[in-house]
Amino acid sequence: MTAALIIEQLLNGLQLGVMLFLIAAGLTLIFGVMGFINLAHGSLYMIGAFACAAIAAATGSFWIGLAASLVAAAAAGALMEVAIVRRLYERDHLDQVLATFALILILSEGTRWLFGSFPLYLDIPPLLQGAVPLPGGGQYQLYRLAIIGVGILVAIGLYLLISRTRLGMRIRAGETDREMIAALGVDIRTLYTVVFALGAALAGLAGAMVGALQSVQVGMGEPALILAFVVIVIGGIGSIKGALVGAILVGVVDTMGRFLLPKLVALALPASQATMVGAALASMLIYVVMALILAFRPRGLFAGQG
Amino acid sequence: MSLLSLKGVESFYGASQALFGVDLSVEDGEVVALMGRNGMGKTTTISSILGMVKPRGGSINFAGKEIVGQQPHRIAQQGIGLVPEGRRCFPNLTVEENLLVAARGSDWTLARVTELFPRLGERLGQYANTLSGGEQQMLAIGRALMTNPRLLILDEATEGLAPVIRQDIWAALRKLKAAGQSILVVDKTLSELLPVADRCFVLEKGVTVFEGKPDALTAELQDRYLGV
């Protein structure tokens, strides 16, 4: 086991974490500001991936596809908010979960109807093909590094948006007292639509970027959604900072667990069993981490810190 | 025409009726006191003006327009600045952010608000939940002023504050009045409220039972409508 291999796995974990952050940021923002549980958030991720793959195939340009994924996911999010979600804010969480679960089914079937059951494939753009050398030997895919870079830029951008702009102030004010912010003359309904579209666009961006690494297919959103929920529960619901820390933690722990646990178990068990036991333990690992964190910080790492 | 006029306003909380016919008016540049014992409908009247409670009867006219049925933010945008009961500053925003979050218009600026309340100027970067009660009250007033309202509405602005701080708040309100600001104010301390007010309205069981100058509110009337 070389240093280069460990660095590679750490970067893989970071890259997974960044993808999870893009999905979880919108989810936690929507829950924090509107108190709304959106199970269909994973569908927005899928819509982003399909929009990017379809437009990239039609135009031959990944970058036009990427722009299309942002537009398509934001538009789908805004439409979802105005047509359906808006009617559910005052209802309890069970109604919200039922309605957005129905949305998952509708959007999945709709996508299958449009694009068929076969997965679409998206090529890595020429600009980002190739690899860069790692310290200690070995190589790392440039595209994955670019994803990490985009994630860092989005995190900085969101931080500035939330902490430095009027929109960010209104989002934070809305988290604590919606009625008061409306009584001061702020149109809370438009604010909600903007927040929803912003969260959707981030999920769409994640879907588009991941589309060049995995196949783009119906149902790709739900596994990501479950991990994103783990992320926001660990980070503290409503906190962007929590989503970032939680996402990196989940990404790195999950990736390193899958890499190291089978090797660790092999020290105690015969090789034939070690792989199986190690893999089983690895897939449980993030949930164990979540349980441990919740045992000490029941509301997550950064609960109530915006 | 009055800046604000309520005629026969009836409002409900769920199934139970809270207002049975409230009449009220505020002229431009006037300070009007809205009085009554606890539970007589003062806060409900304010919530009805701002559309947070939707009146089912009567009319509310602001600056020549009927505002019953409009969304709260639309009503506020037409020029009503609310300083709510309990202050309701945004605890996770700094003093400066609380002032800027809903700021509109150009007359009232950060500089003017901190001139009126120097204590806020010293604490611009502090989070609102680290302020004392009096400072939070000043912040709530400053936040409403930053929306450049034609009418400022204060609900129990001195409740629970130390006497020295109350004097600061009343001094600020007198300055606002001198500058021509129209104000509707709810307060329980008559000795402090009546000297500032141009006119008074008294509510009893959701109905306006008295309207007139402060000196027309005799000790007998005070005892009948406002005594404990």
pLDDT value for A1: 60
pLDDT value for A304: 61
Q: Nearest to residue A250, comparing CAs of A3, A15, A7?
A: A15
Q: Which two tokens stand for residue B219?
A: 């000790």
Q: Nearest to residue A69, comparing CAs of A219, A268, A240, A207?
A: A207
Q: Which two tokens stand for residue B178?
A: 């001198």
pLDDT in tens, A141-198: 999 999 999 999 999 999 999 999 999 999 999 888 989 999 999 998 899 999 999 9
pLDDT in tens, A202-233: 999 999 999 999 999 999 999 999 999 999 99
Residue B111 scores a pLDDT above 90: yes
Percent of chain B with pLDDT over 90: 84
Q: Band of the pLDDT at A200, cuts 50, 70, 90?
A: very high
Residue B184 scores a pLDDT above 60: yes
| C-beta atoms of A183 and B104 within 8 A | no
Domain membership flag for residue A263: no
Radius of gyration of chain A (CA): 20
CA atoms in the 13 A half-sphere facing the CB of A84:
19
Measured in angstroms, the CA of B84 and the nearest CA of chain A are apart by 8
Say whether residue A177 is in contact with chain B using an 8 A CB cutoff. Answer: yes
Task: Name the residue type at position B35.
Answer: M
Domain membership flag for residue A34: yes
pLDDT in tens, B150-165: 999 999 989 889 999 9
Residue B213 — left, alpha, or beta (φ > 0 → left; ψ -120 to 50 → alpha)?
beta
**Reported ipTM:** 0.90
pLDDT value for A2: 77
Please compute the mean of the pLDDT values over residues B118-132 and round it to a whole number: 94
- Taking the whole predicted model, whether its pTM rises above 0.80 is answered as yes
- Asked whether A210 and A4 are in contact (CB, 8 A), the reply is no
Domain membership flag for residue A231: no
Give the residue carrying structure tokens 């933010």: B73
pLDDT in tens, A173-182: 988 898 999 9
Residue A306 scores a pLDDT above 50: no
| C-beta atoms of B92 and A188 within 8 A | no
Percent of chain A with pLDDT over 70: 99
In terms of residue numbers, what domain contains A82? Answer: 3-219
Helix axes A3-34, A166-176, angle to 10 degrees: 70
Task: Name the residue type at position A95.
Answer: D
pLDDT value for A278: 87
pLDDT value for A237: 87
Which of A163, A170, A184 to probe by mutation at the B interface, max B CB count within 10 Å?
A184
- Asked whether A236 and A21 are in contact (CB, 8 A), the reply is no
- Asked whether A244 and A21 are in contact (CB, 8 A), the reply is yes
Say whether residue A170 is in contact with chain B using an 8 A CB cutoff. Answer: yes
Domain membership flag for residue A291: no
pLDDT in tens, A68-91: 999 999 999 999 999 999 999 989
Please compute the mean of the pLDDT values over residues B176-180 and round it to a whole number: 95
Q: Which of B91, B92, B147 lies closest to A184 in CB terms? A: B147
| C-beta atoms of A187 and B104 within 8 A | no
Domain membership flag for residue A286: no
Residue A305 scores a pLDDT above 60: no
Q: Nearest to residue A96, comparing CAs of A155, A39, A15, A21?
A: A39
Residue B13 scores a pLDDT above 90: no
Say whether residue A306 is in contact with chain B using an 8 A CB cutoff. Answer: yes
Domain membership flag for residue A55: yes
Task: Name the residue type at position B24.
Answer: L
Domain membership flag for residue A238: no
Say whether residue A90 is in contact with chain B using an 8 A CB cutoff. Answer: no
**Overall domain count for chain A:** 1
Say whether residue A213 is in contact with chain B using an 8 A CB cutoff. Answer: no
pLDDT value for B228: 60
Question: Between vectors from CA B217 to CA B215 and to CA B220, what angle results, nearest 5°?
Answer: 125
